[in-house]
Structure 1
Amino acid sequence: MKNSNIAAYAPLALATLCWGGNVVIGRAVRGDLPPLGLSFWRWFFCCLILLFFTARKLPANWPVIRKHWKLLLAMSATGIAAFNPLQYQALHSTTAINSTLILATCPAIMALLSVFILKDKLGFAQIAGILISFFGVIFVITSGELTTLFHLTFTVGDIWMVGAAIVWALYSITVKLRPVTLDPLVMLMVITGLGAAILFPLYIWETLTYQPVTITPTNLAAIVYVTFIASLLAYFSWNKGVGLIGPSKAGVFIHLMPVWVAILAFFLLGERLQEYHLVGIAFIAIGIVLNSRRARV
């Protein structure tokens, strides 16, 4: 196993842990924080915070930014401006099971895009790893009752979630193509700023025609979490992991999200870890190990 693989595991796992909390919060505040409003303020504050720490680095990094502005704009449009509003909109009308199932297809989408766009080689172990870990996700979210899948009903929110999974896969591809000479924090500041700029007119439209953002202690706490934890910490960690091992291998870590939810519920809510949790976690772990193996050409 390569050292780069091992070094990428911790940041990728940390990112999915942060996003597990983001899904819970997005579902909890869906009635008070509209999708575009929550997304805009999330990335606006992220950009301001990052600008404070990176302002002195901008002149040295500006030539790289100017040279690769199209790629940075693509990163922003997919991973910042599109993914989060689609996800938050989906959480308005879909269930936790449906959203998790759809998002769990993301590693397969990322692997396919990596083959066609990045010319990655997928070996049998990687394909098996994705499928085995996906089975583990299904086992966890259905509580070990796989027949539950036959009774699922789908809503318009599921369509939004499919769109979210696709744009996240595209974002992860662009992360792999990022200029390595660009400071990671400067890059994150640029794409969050561009994302906030793209979202701003849409946020104004949402405020005037649909629903404004209401200021309450709960909503402020949600914005603080998504800004510092689900954005700054999670995106920096994800970008670092993808940069080390590529999107086709990193994608399978998304399957850890239901695992983190189960573990958090155990420690924070006092819920029991059931046998199906342990079985599902075992399958996901096996899948991640298999997926980490280098493809043979």
Structure 2
Amino acid sequence: MNSSGLKLAYLCAIMNAMIIGFSFLFTKIALEFADPMDTLTFRFAASFAAMSIPVLLGRVRLNYRGKKLRKVVLLAILYPLAFFALQSYGLKYTTSSEGGILLAFTPVLTLLLAFLFLKETTTLLQKLSICLSVSGVLFIFIMKGSGIDWSNMTGIVLLFLSCLAIAGYNVLARRLLKSFSPAEITYVMLGIAFLSFLAMSLAGHTAAGTLDQLFSPLASGAFVAAILYLGVLSTLVTALSSNYALSRIEASKMSVFSNLSTIVSIAAGALLLGEEIRMYHIVGAALIIVGVIGTNLLGTSSSPSFPAKSIRRQ
């Protein structure tokens, strides 16, 4: 494998975690001005528009001729459609802390699905490292006094299914990247997500008789700034970079990087909101980092990697 390509893949994985870690703050800002469905609509409108510009200018060339697009459609259904829908409705019945706890188990689900469908194998030390990373996230939430209220089974099931959706995305994307470039997959995903969320948002406003209020949040500079971050960085850039990383790194290794976003969220809260960092934050962060490093360094996987197709196609 090209070592420079592998280094770039790991850089993309780390960058993803950093961007997503800050996205929670911007999501909170956006939700002060619009409901979740409208926020998703504007978020994916921004991401799809941002990618459409270089596509229309010919800077990013896409070629879908002779390729099975229905599989990319399935990928888009898993993420972002199913993931965001299940997560949004799941959080109606549970707390954000419960969502964070369940989301931490995504690497474990990815490990199982990657073994079943991609025949990826990991060493015992790698499995233990994944569990160590998950335990770091759980330790932070538990020490904060958070837990899971098992009486909210509806919310728990929905959140678990959202984790299963993103795990399925990691595995399916890894397979599809053998025949599609990261840009080709990303563009279809963003287009489908934008049109779907727009249709749902329009339907909701039409039913409520509030269609004239759809664009009112755009009058706020804070909302526009939040949407640009969420749409361009937290959606478009992370989609491109995660798809590139998945073309170079096994799905089981890639997914564990998601837990790094917990560390970034803590740092963002301290830097921007003045939240206090306690010793259990440091201990949990150390467990997460050691787990991520161990997963990617301790042992090798039997799943072969393959070169990523260039984003720009001649």
> What TM bracket, shorter-length normalisation?
0.7 to 0.9
Q: Which runs of 5+ in 2 are unaligned?
A: 303-314
Change (3 A) 1:29 1:123: same
Q: Find the counterpart in structure 1 of residue 266 from structure 2.
A: 262
Q: Distance in 2 between matches of 1:104 and 1:206?
A: 32
Q: Distance in 2 between matches of 1:108 and 1:225?
A: 29
Q: Find the counterpart in structure 2 of residue 252 from structure 1.
A: 256
Q: Distance in 1 between matches of 2:301 and 2:178?
A: 26
Question: AA paired with 1:203?
Answer: S
Question: AA paired with 1:97?
Answer: S
Q: Find the counterpart in structure 2 of residue 88 from structure 1.
A: 88
Specify which of 161, 186, 199 is matched with residue 163 of structure 1: 161
Contact preservation (8 Å) 2:19, 2:233: yes
Contact preservation (8 Å) 1:15, 1:237: yes
Q: Find the counterpart in structure 2 of residue 207 from structure 1.
A: 205
Matches within 5 A, 1:177-216: 177-180=175-178, 182-209=180-207, 213=214, 214-215=216-217, 216=219
Change (3 A) 1:203 1:136: same
| 2:137 is the counterpart of 1:137 | yes
CA shift for structure 1 position 296: 6.5
Contact preservation (8 Å) 1:75, 1:191: yes
Equivalent residue pairs, number:
292
1:60-99 superposed Cα distances (whole Å, 9 cap, x missing partner): 6132xx4120221112111122222333344445323211
Contact preservation (8 Å) 1:5, 1:245: yes
Q: Distance in 2 between matches of 1:219 and 1:255?
A: 27
CA shift for structure 1 position 285: 1.4
Q: Distance in 1 between matches of 2:301 and 2:63?
A: 37
Q: Distance in 2 between matches of 1:255 and 1:104?
A: 6
| 2:26 is the counterpart of 1:62 | no
Question: AA paired with 2:276?
Answer: R
Question: AA paired with 1:195?
Answer: A
CA shift for structure 1 position 258: 1.5
Q: Find the counterpart in structure 2 of residue 120 from structure 1.
A: 120
Question: AA paired with 1:74?
Answer: L
Instruction: State, as a whole percentage, how many aligned pairs show the same letter.
Output: 20
Change (3 A) 1:158 1:33: farther
Q: Find the counterpart in structure 2 of residue 44 from structure 1.
A: 45
Q: Find the counterpart in structure 1 of residue 291 from structure 2.
A: 287
TM-score, structure 1 normalization: 0.86
Q: Distance in 2 between matches of 1:47 and 1:195?
A: 9
CA RMSD after TM alignment: 2.8
Question: AA paired with 1:282?
Answer: A
Q: Distance in 2 between matches of 1:28 and 1:167?
A: 26
CA shift for structure 1 position 245: 0.9
Q: Distance in 1 between matches of 2:205 and 2:27?
A: 18
